[in-house]
Structure 1
Amino acid sequence: MQQLILIVGKEGQLGSTFEELSKRTGWARFTFSTIDKLNLTNPESIKQFFYGKKFDFIINCAAYTAVDKAEEDRETAFKLNYEAPALLAEEAALMDAGFIHISTDYVFGGQHCRPLKPGDPKQPESVYGKSKLLGEEAVLKKHSRSMIIRTSWLYSEYGRNFLKTMLRLGQEKESLKVVFDQVGTPTLANDLASSILTIIHKIESKEKSFVPGVYHFSNEGVCSWYDFAVAIFREAGSECRVFPVESGEFPTKAPRPFYSVMDKSLIKKTYEIEIPHWQDSLIKCLKKMKDSGLL
C-alpha cells in the first residue's frame, strides 16, 4: 500500500528536490502544496486545505529564509517559522500523520568549537533563528509524532543558494572575496530529501520505528565558506580566484553563526543511514547541472 506524503513548500529548494525524487519513488504517492492552495500566513487557509484530506506523513519544507530581511519583517518571519508549523503539527496530530519539520543551525549562537548535538543549549542571535526555534518547540508540543531535522548551508540546482551565486559571480568577475571565519558543512538538498524518504520507507516497512525528537543532518566533513567557494570553482573548471577575508568585511543585519558544524550521530544511529562527504556531493551536483545544461 502506497504511503500518502504531503510536501509543504513546493517552491523551495527542498520541495523542488522532493518533487524530482517523487517521480521515481513508487512506494509513495505525493501531494505538493503551493501558496495559492495553502497560504501558511492564514490559519483559515490551513484548515480549509486539510479538510477531508488524509496523509501518512507531512514534511514541512516551507520557511521564511531571508535572514537579513527577517530583522525588519519580524511579523511574517514568525508567522511562517513559528505559527504555521504549529498549525501544521496540529493538523498532522488530528490525522495521526508523522510530521517532519525542517529547521536550521541558526537556532544555535554559533560560538561553539565542537560539533553541535541536538540537545545543546540554544542561543539564537537573529530573528530568523529565534522564530525557527519557537517553531521547533511548538511542533514538538503540538504533536507527539513529530521529528525536527536541523540542517545547514543547503544548496541544489534549484532556487537561490551559495553554489549558484558563486557560479554566477565566477562568470562575471575575475576574483572574489569570501569569508573564511564562518565554519560549517554544506548540505546537498538531494542528500537530505533522499535520506528523509529512506527514513519514511524504513518506518513504513516496519524496519524501523518512528522515533520523535530533534535530529541533525548535513553532509559529512567541515569547511569554511571560503573553502566551499574554492571547491566550487575548482570542480566547475572556473578560473575565478577566491581570496579569504574575515566576516567584518561583509557586515550583515543578522549575525551569522561562526561555527555550525553539526553532530549527526543520532540520525545515523537511529535510522541506520549513511551520509556522503560534502565534496563528493558537490561533484555529484555539478555533474548533474552540466549534464542537464545548467552549466
Structure 2
Amino acid sequence: MKILVTGREGQVARSLAERGSAHELVFAARPDFDLADAGSIARTIENARPDLVISAAAYTAVDQAEDEPELAMAINGEAPGHIGRAAASVGAPVVHLSTDYVFDGSGEHAWREEDPTGPIGVYGRTKLAGEQALAASGAAHAIVRTAWVYSPFGNNFVKTMLRLAESRDALNVVKDQYGNPTSALDIADALLAVAGRWQDAPGHGTNAVYHFAGTGSTNWADFARAIFDSSRKRGGPSCEVTGIPSSDYPTKAQRPANSRLDSAKFADTFGHAAPRWQESLDATVARLVG
C-alpha cells in the first residue's frame, strides 16, 4: 500500500518511518508541502496518488497558538479539509490525528467519542475545526484522537524530564492534570493497523471518530516519577519529584485537567489496543538512556 504521510520530522511521522516498512511510505513536508497552502496540498496528493493519506502533521505549539490563532486555524482547522478533498479526488481515504484538547477537561471519566466537545483554548478549537472540515470534505476517513504523546524522537515530556534530571536534584511537576501517556510508536502501529484493515476490508469503520491512547492513566507528577524510576534502573539520570497544583505553574494556554481517553471503540473496530503505558514508557527510556 502506498501511504502519504503529512510531515517528516514529527514524532508520529518518524515512528511511521520506523514501523511502516511493509508499505511504501511517502512523506510530504516543506518546502514542497505546506499545510498553510491549499495549493501545495492538492498538488502533492495529486502527484503522489496514494492509496491512503495519514494526516499526522499539525500546529502543536499550544501556548504559541494563543498568539497565532489565524496560523493555527489555517494549519489545524482548514488544512484537513483541503487534505480530504484532495484525497477524495484520487480515491484515497484519510486517517487524521486529533487530540484530547477538543474536550474541556472536566470530570474524572475517560472521554468517549460521543461525549460533547468543548475546547478551552485556541489549539483545541482549531483541532476540532479540523475534524469538522475533514468530515465535511467528502473523503472516507477516520479521525483518531490521542493524548500525551512521547517517543524517542523530537521534543516531548519524557525527553525533557531526562534532560532536566542531568542538572537538577529535584523538580516540581503538576499533579492535578490526568491523562494517558501514549508512545508515538504505538500510535504508528495503530494507524498501520487501520491501513491493514482497510486493505482487507475497504470502508470498514470509516467516517467515524476514534480514541487511541496508552492503556491506563496517571498524572504528570507520577508520570515523571515513572520516567525516573525507569531511567534509574538503567543507570540514567533521575531526580526527586514534588507534585504541585496547576495554579503554581501558570501557562498561557489552559490545559485540560482531565485528558483521559477511552480507547475501547478503536480496539473493537480495528482489533488493536495500546500496551499499558508503563510498558511503552520503559521501552522508550531504554532507547534514550541506553
Task: Read off the aligned partner of 1:11 and give its amino acid letter.
Answer: E
Deviates more, 1:12-21 or 1:160-169: 12-21
Identity %: 37
The match for 1:133 among 123, 128, 132 is 128
Corresponding residue SS for 1:103: strand
Deviates more, 1:80-89 or 1:47-56: 47-56
CA shift for structure 1 position 207: 9.1
Matches within 5 A, 1:12-23: 12-22=10-20
The match for 2:188 among 182, 185, 193 is 193
Give 1:124's aligned residue. Answer: 119
Query: Residue by residue, what CA displacement relative to the aligned partner does 1:172-210 show, whole Å, maximum 9, x if unpaired?
Result: 111000010000110000001011102211221339824
RMSD across aligned positions (CA): 1.4
Give 2:59's aligned residue. Answer: 64
Task: Read off the aligned partner of 1:280 and give its amino acid letter.
Answer: E
Contact 2:45 2:87 in 1 (8 A): no
Task: Read off the aligned partner of 2:37 and give its amino acid letter.
Answer: N
CA shift for structure 1 position 37: 1.3
The match for 1:105 among 100, 125, 129 is 100
Give 1:270's aligned residue. Answer: 269
Q: Is the aligned partner of 1:114 residue 2:109?
A: yes
Contact 2:42 2:83 in 1 (8 A): no
Give distance in 1, aligned partners of 2:227 and 2:7.
Answer: 27
Provide closer, same or farther for how the CA distance between residues 239 and 17 of structure 1 changes in structure 2, counting only shifts above 3 A: closer
Q: Is the aligned partner of 1:169 residue 2:168?
A: no
Task: Read off the aligned partner of 1:224 and give its amino acid letter.
Answer: N
Contact 1:215 1:267 in 2 (8 A): yes
CA shift for structure 1 position 51: 3.3
Query: Residue by residue, what CA displacement relative to the aligned partner does 1:230-284 show, whole Å, maximum 9, x if unpaired?
Result: 0000100134110000001111111100001111110000111132000011011
CA shift for structure 1 position 126: 0.3
Contact 1:146 1:212 in 2 (8 A): yes
Give distance in 2, aligned partners of 1:278 and 1:208.
Answer: 30
Task: Read off the aligned partner of 2:148 and give its amino acid letter.
Answer: W
Give distance in 1, aligned partners of 2:197 and 2:101.
Answer: 29
CA shift for structure 1 position 289: 2.6
The match for 1:32 among 23, 27, 32 is 27
Give distance in 2, aligned partners of 1:63 and 1:207.
Answer: 26
**Which sections of structure 2, spanning at least 5 residues, go unmatched?**
none
Contact 1:90 1:143 in 2 (8 A): yes
CA shift for structure 1 position 141: 1.0
Give 2:209's aligned residue. Answer: 214
Give distance in 2, aligned partners of 1:102 and 1:50.
Answer: 18
Give distance in 2, aligned partners of 1:262 and 1:280.
Answer: 18
CA shift for structure 1 position 20: 1.5
**Which sections of structure 1, spanning at least 5 residues, go unmatched?**
none
Contact 1:103 1:150 in 2 (8 A): yes
Give distance in 2, aligned partners of 1:284 and 1:274.
Answer: 17
Give 1:11's aligned residue. Answer: 9
Task: Read off the aligned partner of 1:39 and give its amino acid letter.
Answer: D
Give distance in 1, aligned partners of 2:205 and 2:99.
Answer: 21
TM-score, normalisation: structure 1? 0.94
Give distance in 2, aligned partners of 1:105 and 1:193.
Answer: 17
Give distance in 2, aligned partners of 1:135 and 1:105.
Answer: 13
Corresponding residue SS for 2:96: strand
CA shift for structure 1 position 147: 0.6
Give 1:279's aligned residue. Answer: 278
Give distance in 2, aligned partners of 1:146 and 1:113.
Answer: 29
Contact 1:10 1:32 in 2 (8 A): yes
Contact 1:92 1:143 in 2 (8 A): no
Corresponding residue SS for 1:68: helix
Provide closer, same or farther for how the CA distance between residues 207 and 144 of structure 1 changes in structure 2, counting only shifts above 3 A: closer
Give 1:227's aligned residue. Answer: 222
